[in-house]
Structure 1
Amino acid sequence: MELQQMRYVVAVAETANFTRAAERCHVVQSALSHQIARLERELGARLFDRTSRRVHLTPAGEAFLPAARQALEAAERARAEVAAAAGEIRGRLAIGAIPTVSSVDLPRLLVNYRTRYPRVHISLRSAISEEMIEQVKEGTLDVAVLGLPPAGRVVGLRGHELARGGLVAIVAPGHRLADAGEVALAELADEEFVDFPTGTGARVQSDDAFEAAGVRREVAFEVNAIEFMTRFVRHGLGVGMVPTAFADELAGVRVLRITDATARVEVLVWSRSRPSPPAAALLELFDIDPESYS
């Protein structure tokens, strides 16, 4: 069993297509198919069911895939550790961030990182906090920037608080409160809202604020991005709530300070295991020493 064979299996599983997998791996399809067939013979089981229209994992393939990914990650980690011992940071760095991150200028940070460590391949994913917590635990992500309620805690990971901030409400220019400047949550009780999906960190924060104020509200539209929320609000379809740090970036809406909303916390999290050299180098840019966190 060879690492290259595992790479081919992962590529086919992720693309569901032998041709696209071969293109991703920069080999001809016949060579990729031959190596996978050879691996299947060695394992004594078929990893893929192939039809004229699609390719999908067999039960044996489903069992093999996580172990193959772990083996590839371990090999990548070994190469990175050897390079770090020789004074070079290289390998892969997978970062996650909520769409509403405001505590750090990620593009600027990554430009700085890439300038210092050009041999590191960086990937960035935007997702909800709950998904990224699991991905960091699984090792799919090295680090992630989460949004949590003030009392929120992440079990099983190490974390560092980056910032705390409030919430503001955004309304259409023609809204009855457009010129108010500030508003209490009770004044928004009869409004329809545009908010993030139920269960997400940003939504929990808004829900907790209204619950603490004893105010009920109706969320009519659920969206996944502030830009999408702003478009709904701009057209008068509802009221939105966003972090204060985004207030100056939103065009075509009026921003109202909320006098009784709870704070919003952004946290950087990483695995309790020793971070890879690329991840440790990123933590250094945040002035974080991972060894100081228990």
Structure 2
Amino acid sequence: MQLHQLEYLVAVADEGGFTRAAERLRIAQPGVSAQIRKLERELGHELLDRSGPRVRPTPVGADVIATARHALDAVAGVRRVVEDLDGLLRGEARVGMVTSGPFLDVPGVLADFATAHPGVTCSLVEAGSGRLVAMLRDGRLDVALVGTAGGAADDLEARTVTEESLVVAVPPGDPLATATAVVPADLAGRDVVVPSEGNALREAFDLACAAVPVRIACAASDPTVLARLAARGLGVAVLPASLSALRSEALTTVPFAADVRARLVLAWPRGSSSPAAATLTRALLDAVPG
């Protein structure tokens, strides 16, 4: 059963004949007849009584036609909603992001949104969390994926995308390699390789070690780069707990026993926003892993 077959059936019932229905539909009359015959064969019942001068529904046809009208009305309603929404989606939609790894495909969501709403000019900014939050507050961004070690600011709405604790990575011969856990004081005076500023892991580490004299030997945005640097003896690497299984002859990971967690959150300003910004924000929220 196809939607156009229902449309043809309703038209014939309304017009009382195939010729006038075809004129209304602006298609050839044989095509209308053929499609309705096909529908009748599929349903196993005659839907129209063709014996008189005016075509009338059979008892079964009357029920089918009533249901068909509801179906066609529902489809028309969906089309109106889409048309109304497209009419609203104009202007700009501006999103920001920190490097998120596999947790949320912001570029992919934005690309799909831009394809679906060609009337909206889309932009993407990649920066550190501090800058992104400032851009949200001063109206230069509509929504952003940011890293934080705490909760969202009071002037922003937020939803957590992912949250995890930290581990440290050292060569097997390091004194910390046999520990069951590492506390911030264990890193005093040690060289440490850490995530770049603006990263949620870096914010969590800085918060945990605020009173500990550590030496930042190197910073990088990619945790696997930090792990390789630690394996080469450049310093203790600070990594996300998702890499806690990273063990080899060159590297051992140990839990970092600090009361901090690194979080990625999707954040947007409180209050009203443009229809385009609101629709993009909903699309990003829908893409957050359940």
- The interval holding the TM-score normalised by the smaller chain is 0.5 to 0.7
Q: Which runs of 5+ in 1 are unaligned?
A: 1-82, 289-294
1:124 alignment partner in structure 2: 124
Alignment of 1:119-268 (within 5 A): 119-150=119-150, 152-172=151-171, 176=174, 180=178, 183-185=181-183, 186-196=185-195, 202-211=201-210, 215-226=212-223, 228-245=225-242, 254-268=252-266
Output the TM-score relative to the length of structure 2. Answer: 0.54
Distance (whole Å) between structure 2 residues aligned to residue 199 and residue 146 of structure 1:
8
Residue 193 of structure 1, CA deviation:
0.6
1:284 alignment partner in structure 2: 282
Distance (whole Å) between structure 2 residues aligned to residue 239 and residue 92 of structure 1:
44
Q: Which runs of 5+ in 2 are unaligned?
A: 1-82
Alpha-carbon displacement from aligned partner over 1:152-196 (angstroms, at most 9, x marks no partner): 442433333333221122335x55268658532244445311124
* Alpha-carbon distance change, 273 to 210 in structure 1, aligned in 2, over 3 angstroms: same
2:40 alignment partner in structure 1: none
Distance (whole Å) between structure 1 residues aligned to residue 125 and residue 244 of structure 2:
24
Distance (whole Å) between structure 2 residues aligned to residue 254 and residue 103 of structure 1:
25
Worse-superposed segment, 264-273 or 196-205: 196-205
* Alpha-carbon distance change, 249 to 101 in structure 1, aligned in 2, over 3 angstroms: farther
Alpha-carbon displacement from aligned partner over 1:124-177 (angstroms, at most 9, x marks no partner): 222111111111122222211111123x442433333333221122335x5526
Distance (whole Å) between structure 2 residues aligned to residue 122 and residue 227 of structure 1:
31
How many residues are paired up? Answer: 202
* Alpha-carbon distance change, 239 to 199 in structure 1, aligned in 2, over 3 angstroms: same
Q: Is the 8 A contact 2:200 2:262 kept in 1?
A: no
Distance (whole Å) between structure 1 residues aligned to residue 188 and residue 232 of structure 2:
20
Amino acid at match of 2:209: F
2:30 alignment partner in structure 1: none
Residue 249 of structure 1, CA deviation:
9.1
* Alpha-carbon distance change, 102 to 169 in structure 1, aligned in 2, over 3 angstroms: farther
Residue 98 of structure 1, CA deviation:
1.8
Q: Is the 8 A contact 2:98 2:146 kept in 1?
A: yes
Amino acid at match of 2:270: R
Output the TM-score relative to the length of structure 1. Answer: 0.54
Alignment of 1:27-176 (within 5 A): 86-87=86-87, 89-100=89-100, 103-110=103-110, 112-114=112-114, 116-117=116-117, 119-150=119-150, 152-172=151-171, 176=174
Distance (whole Å) between structure 2 residues aligned to residue 250 and residue 283 of structure 1:
39
Amino acid at match of 1:158: E
Q: Is the 8 A contact 2:182 2:254 kept in 1?
A: no
Q: Is the 8 A contact 1:128 1:201 kept in 2?
A: no
1:80 alignment partner in structure 2: none
Distance (whole Å) between structure 2 residues aligned to residue 270 and residue 250 of structure 1:
38
Distance (whole Å) between structure 2 residues aligned to residue 228 and residue 189 of structure 1:
23
Amino acid at match of 1:132: L
Amino acid at match of 1:157: L
* Alpha-carbon distance change, 106 to 190 in structure 1, aligned in 2, over 3 angstroms: same
1:20 alignment partner in structure 2: none
Distance (whole Å) between structure 2 residues aligned to residue 98 and residue 250 of structure 1:
27
Distance (whole Å) between structure 2 residues aligned to residue 108 and residue 183 of structure 1:
38
Q: Is the 8 A contact 1:130 1:201 kept in 2?
A: no
* Aligned sequence identity (%): 25
Q: Secondary structure at the match of 1:134?
A: helix
